[in-house]
């Protein structure tokens, strides 16, 4: 970096990380949309919704096609894997400290370079419920944001498209009881920033965040209802029933 200004050198380095690691759509290049998001960070804009949106959109694309390249931050996805797919019997007290950082902890842990693609496939194919850590030890919220406006989910605006996330589908991650959520219309909420009408949809989605709803979290057992097991086994993706929050 030849810039004499230290701040500019740091900004260029940070932008490179955003473009090549966090949002690696074009290998070896930083997309203009990434630069636009990076420029807004100084104005207090958080990149978290965009990171989640593009992660979910890429995973959905691969799932629908049955194959494909994951376009997202593979390092953050790996952190999520380690947080949920390897159950830890004894949790360090450090996770409850105010300045605890999971990312810093994982950086100092020796990397497992011996896990091949075939090994990962075997791990996923043989996952049992008892192997899954539904709630990471560091997650101790007493309430969650679960919907925006009239929708039973929250909308996420990425840098190349928008998608949705339904916290009511993953209540077990909060040690709360998983019931059958309302999912009608959920699959139709994902779209790319193309065409004539996408800007109008983006404005509408942004407005939904002006009316958010939260719910208290109550740790219960068992974590799932019998009705949820029946629903999940049949993959009913357009369910319209609305469960009472008293079931949570």
| pLDDT exceeds cutoff 80 at 156 | yes
In a domain, 129, yes or no: yes
pLDDT range class, residue 247, cuts 50, 70, 90: very low
pLDDT value at 37 more than 90: yes
pTM > 0.85: yes or no: no
Is 61 among the domain residues? yes
Q: How many domains does the chain have?
A: 1
Highest mean pLDDT among 2-11, 84-93, 151-160: 151-160
**105 or 208: which carries more pLDDT confidence?**
208
What is the average per-residue pLDDT within 111-140? 74
Q: Is pLDDT above 80 for 174?
A: no
Helix 74-84 / helix 48-65 crossing angle, nearest 10 deg: 80
Please give the Cα distance from 94 to 74 (Å, whole number). Answer: 25
Considering 19-23, 92-96, 174-178, the range whose residues carry the highest mean pLDDT is 19-23
**pLDDT, tens digit, for every residue of 211-235?**
998 888 776 677 788 888 887 777 6
d(CA 237, CA 134): 22
What pLDDT does 11 receive? 86
Radius of gyration of the chain (CA): 20
Residue 218, phi then psi, degrees to nearest 5: -125, 120
In this prediction, residues 188-213 reach a mean pLDDT of 89
């Amino acid at each position: 970096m030849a810039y004499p200004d230290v701040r500019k050198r740091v900004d260029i380095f940070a932008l490179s990380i955003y473009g090549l690691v966090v949002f690696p759509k074009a290998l070896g290049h930083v997309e203009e949309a990434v630069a636009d998001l990076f420029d807004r960070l100084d104005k207090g804009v958080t990149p978290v919704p965009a990171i989640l949106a593009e992660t979910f959109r890429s995973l959905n694309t691969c799932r629908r096609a049955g194959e494909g390249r994951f376009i997202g931050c593979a390092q953050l996805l790996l952190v999520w894997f380690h947080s949920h797919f390897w159950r830890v019997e004894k949790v360090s007290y450090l996770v409850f400290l105010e300045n605890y950082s999971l990312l810093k902890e994982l950086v100092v842990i020796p990397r497992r370079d011996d896990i091949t693609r075939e090994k990962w496939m075997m791990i996923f194919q043989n996952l049992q419920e008892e192997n899954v850590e539904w709630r990471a030890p560091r997650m101790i919220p007493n309430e969650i944001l679960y919907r925006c406006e009239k929708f039973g989910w929250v909308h996420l605006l990425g840098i190349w498209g928008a998608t949705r996330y339904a916290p009511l589908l993953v209540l077990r991650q909060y040690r709360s009881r998983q019931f059958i959520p309302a999912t009608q219309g959920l699959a139709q909420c994902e779209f790319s920033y193309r065409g004539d009408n996408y800007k109008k949809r983006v404005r509408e989605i942004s407005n939904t965040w002006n009316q958010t709803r939260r719910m208290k979290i109550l740790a219960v057992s068992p974590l799932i209802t019998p009705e949820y097991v029946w629903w999940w086994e049949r993959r009913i993706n357009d369910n319209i029933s609305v469960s009472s929050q008293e079931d949570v």
